[in-house]
Chain A
Amino acid sequence: MKDVKGLTDEELVQLVCTQDQELYSELVRRYQNKLLRYTSYLAQSETKAADITQETFIKAFINLNSFNTDKKFSSWIYRIAHNEAINNIRRYARETSLENNEQVKVVLSGDKDVQEDLDQEFLRKMVSSCLDKIPLVYRAPLALFYLEDHSYEEISDILRIPIGTVGTHINRGKKVLAEFCSKERGIETYA
C-alpha cells in the first residue's frame, strides 16, 4: 500500500475511486473509532453501534462516487452514520417521537436559562454521562458538538438542518440535559 498517511480524506477518496480500492481501508481506519463512538451515543448499544458503523462503511463505499471531493468527507460519512443509526433505532422502535416527550416540553416551556458560560469541561462531562437520558433530537447535536468537536456548520451538514437550527437544538439540548441530569443525580438544576 502506498504511503497515504499524509493525504487528506478527500484526496484519499479520489484515489480509492480512480486507482486503488484497497486504500479504502485507510479511510475505515481513520473513522471507525469516531463513528463507533458517535453511533454508540445514538444507539446506546456497542453491539448495535458496531453493526451500524460497518453498514455505514459499506454504504459509503458503494456511494463513494457520489461524494463531492470539494466538500468535507468527515461530514459526509458522519451523515451516513447518523442516518444508519436513526434507521436502526426506528427499526427496533426503541425511540418514539421524542419531540413530543411531555417532560421535555415542560422543561423547554420554563423560563429558566442555561448559563452560556458554563465550564466547557463540566458540560462535556455532563453530556457524556447523561446523554442517554435526553431525546435523540438533542442527543445528536450535543454529541457532535461537545464530544466529537464538530463545528455548527459541520453539524448542519451532518444532520441536514440549517445552522440556526443547530444552535437552537444545542441550546435547548443543554437546558433539557441540565434538568434531566440534575434529576438523575438528585441535585439542584445547573440552570
Chain B
Amino acid sequence: MPETEKKQDLSKKVMSQIEEGQVKMRPHSYFVVISIILVIGLIGAIILSVLFSNFSFLWLRAHSPFGYLWFGGPGFRPFLATFPWIPVFIAIVGLVVAVILLRHLDISYKRWFIALVIGLVTVVLLAGLALNLTGFNERNRQFEPVHSFYPRYFSGDEWVTGKITTVKNKELDIVTPEGKEIKVTWDASTLLPSGSNFSIGERIIAVGEWKNDTTFSATGISQGDANWLMMNHEMMPEGNPNAVPLRSN
C-alpha cells in the first residue's frame, strides 16, 4: 500500500470509530473527580505517614528498644518485642503511596524527583516528631481507634521497665507504667552498661527472669536515655485492655 494511502486509512479508521460511537470522549467531570481523588489520596497518605511516624517516635521514646541491645543476646527478644514494627511499616506504606501519587502530578517531573522524595520524607519525619513532642499523643489517648498503636509492652517474660522508687543493696523497687510495683534484684554478674549508681526517680530497663509475680532477677540493667519518655498510668489509654503487661506467668 502506498504511504499516502496508509495515512488516509489511519485518519479514516480513527474518525469512523468516533462517528460510529465505538469510541467516546470521557466527560470533563470524570477528570475533575480523578484529580480530586488524587489530591485527597496524596494528602491522606501524607497524614497517615505523619501520624504513624509520630507513633513510631512515641514507641522509641517509651520503650527505648535499642537500649536492650546493650545486653547482647538476652536483649534481642525484648528489642524485637518493643520495636515499633507496625507503626514504622504503616508509615512507610503511607510514604510509598504518597510517592506513587506524587509521580502523577504535573510538577513531579519538572524537578529532580529524588529531591522531592527526600523532601517529602524529611517533612513527614519532622512533622511526626513535632506531633510526638507537642503532646499530641497525650491529648488523644482517649481516642479509641488509635489505642492499639500506643506503647504497651512494658514487661515480658524476659524484661521489665519502670521508674525506681527505692534503692537497696543489689535491689531496686520500681513501678511500671501500668502502676505495678516490681522488685528487681541483681548481683555481681549482672551487666550494668550505664553503671550501678541508681537513684530514685531514674528510669531503667532490665533483662533477666521472673522469680514470681513481683520479683525480677536481672542479668542486665540499664538506665533510659535522656529522651526516654516514661509513660505513666495517666498516659496509658484508659480502659485499653492492651495496656495489660504481656508477661504470661
Contact = CB atoms under 8 A, between A and B. Distances in A.
Contact of B15 (A24, A50, A53): A24
Interface string B28-51: 101100000000000000000000
B17 interface: yes
A29 B15 CA distance: 11
Contacts of A57: 10, 14
B169 interface: no
Contact of A32 (B10, B25, B30): B10
A28 B26 contact: no
B112 A162 contact: yes
Contact of A65 (B23, B30, B112): B30
A21 B113 CA distance: 38
A22 B7 CA distance: 18
A161 interface: yes
Contact of A54 (B14, B24, B112): B14
Contact of A61 (B14, B31, B109, B110): B14
Nearest to B11: A28
Contacts of B28: 17, 65
B26 A65 contact: yes
A170 interface: no
A45 interface: no
Contacts of B23: 58, 61-62
Interface string B155-190: 000000000000000000000000000000000000
A160 interface: yes
Given A21-B18, A25-B15, A162 B7 contact: no
B111 interface: yes
Contacts of B13: 54
Nearest to B9: A50
A132 B17 CA distance: 33
B16 to A, nearest CB: 10
A24 B18 contact: yes
Secondary structure of the B contact surface, majority rule: helix
B17 A62 contact: no
A63 interface: yes
A42 interface: no
Contacts of A62: 23-26
A33 to B, nearest CB: 6
A25 B11 contact: yes
A184 B151 CA distance: 67
B15 A28 contact: yes
A161 B109 contact: yes
A64 interface: yes
B6 interface: yes
B27 interface: yes
A66 interface: yes
Given A33-B7, A156-B110, A65 B25 contact: yes
A164 B113 CA distance: 12
A54 B10 contact: yes
A36 interface: yes
Contact of A22 (B15, B26, B110, B112): B15
Interface string B107-150: 00111110000000000000000000000000000000000000
Nearest to B13: A54
B25 A66 contact: no
Contacts of A22: 15, 18-19
A165 to B, nearest CB: 8
Contacts of B27: 65
Closest 4 CB pairs of A and B: A160-B109, A66-B31, A65-B28, A57-B14
Interface of B: 6-7, 10-11, 13-15, 17-19, 23-28, 30-31, 109-113
Given A25-B11, A28-B10, A65-B27, 4 more contacts: A61-B14, A65-B31, A162-B110, A162-B111
